[in-house]
Every structure is written in C-alpha cells, then in structure tokens.
Structure 1
Amino acid sequence: MYAITIEQNFVATHAVTMPDGQQEKPHHHDWRVRVAVSSHDLDQNNMAIDFIDLKKKLTSILRPISNKILEQLTDFPDSGATAELVAKYIHDSLTQLLPSRVHLDYTEVMEEHNCWARYRPDN
C-alpha cells in the first residue's frame, strides 16, 4: 500500500451555535487541511497520485469556500460549520475527484492551533 499526504491552507469565517443555543460571533480562521490518500498500485509514472494533481484537486474544492462565511453556503447548516463538518465536506468533495484506484483515507481540518477534526468514513 502506498500513501500520500498533503496539506493546504484557506481562510474562512464561521459562527457555530453552541450546545446551550448561544451563537458565536462570526470569526475567521486560517484553516489547515490535511488529506491522506492511498493506493495498492502505482500509475504509469510510478506514483500513487501526483502531488501536484492532488493539490490542484484540493485547491478546486477550497476555492469556493475560501474567504467566505461558511454558514452562508448551501453546503453547511445555519447552526454552524464546525471543523467536523468542514472536514466531511472536503472529504466528500475530494472523493468524487480521485481516480478509482486511489482511496481517500481521511481528511483533517485544523481550525486553530492544535485543534484538529478528522473525518474518515467507516468502510
């Protein structure tokens, strides 16, 4: 099994509704995204997937949410774009762009320093 991991950053604003019903004031983060993919086989260039190609795919997903208020986008609920939901959104979006032989193992999102959320499907 071969594994590739990349990281990329984006800036976005969110305001999460807390368990007690209070809503945070909108605030931005310099989000960090880490994705890990794997493949049993290498392609004709002896790569699981080209780093540059994977970064382009991730960039295409982050571009529409960069510098936006996440709750104003249809992909996130009004109650808040938590780090967990952002990780799942990126994971689901990136899965659709990968070659069939490449598996997206997990997506991690760092909302603020040392605060990570990971999404990994149960399969």
Structure 2
Amino acid sequence: MEHERSAIIELAKNGKTQKEILKLLNIPANRRKFVYRTIRRYNETGEVCDKARSGRPPSVTTPALQKLVRERIRRNPRRSMRKMAQELKVSESSVRKIVKVNLGIVHSEEREFTS
C-alpha cells in the first residue's frame, strides 16, 4: 500500500489527473477515493503514511512476555500452556494468544493413517 501511495504522489507531482493515475496504476474505479485522499493528505501534511490509530495498547502480551514464552517453548516444546500461564502469572488465554498469534506456533498432531 505504501508503494502504491508513493507512486500516486509521484504521478500527481508530474501533473497527471486522478483519472490518469487510476488508469496508469491499474487501480479499480471503486478506489477513486483512495487516490483523492492520498493526494489530499500529501498536500496537507507532506506525508503519505498512515496516521497513528487510537486503541487500547497491549497490556499483557508485551514483547518481554513473548520472549519469555518463546524461550520456554524452545527449551521444552511439549510444555503445558496451563503450567506456563501459572508460572508467568498470566491467563491461559494470553499464553495461547502469544503462542498462536504472535509467535505463529501451531499444534501439530501426529495422526495414524489407516489403509
């Protein structure tokens, strides 16, 4: 998306119209507003990157906790998540979220194949 925005700004600086930009970059017509807003944002702020978004910051799944969980799993891959949660004094769901979402580790079950 950043690359696309940069290309839009370069073309606009070179005097291309929004319609020409849409055609040159193969942007669908239903994203006309994206081109318009990108150019307007650049003219107002001088930047094309996204603004900081509001929202609740992570309170438990901090990088430090992620590192601890990663190290414990590295040392013992068969470690119980319940036990790890108790040791780290966080909820089981937080540990599961760190393992699945942040670390990208998924459970791989060994299955017996019958013929």
**TM-score relative to the length of structure 1:** 0.26
Higher RCO (CA < 8 A, seq sep 6+): 1
**TM-score relative to the length of structure 2:** 0.27
Structure with greater proportional strand content = 1
Structure with greater proportional helix content = 2
Return the index of the structure with the highest Cα Rg: 2
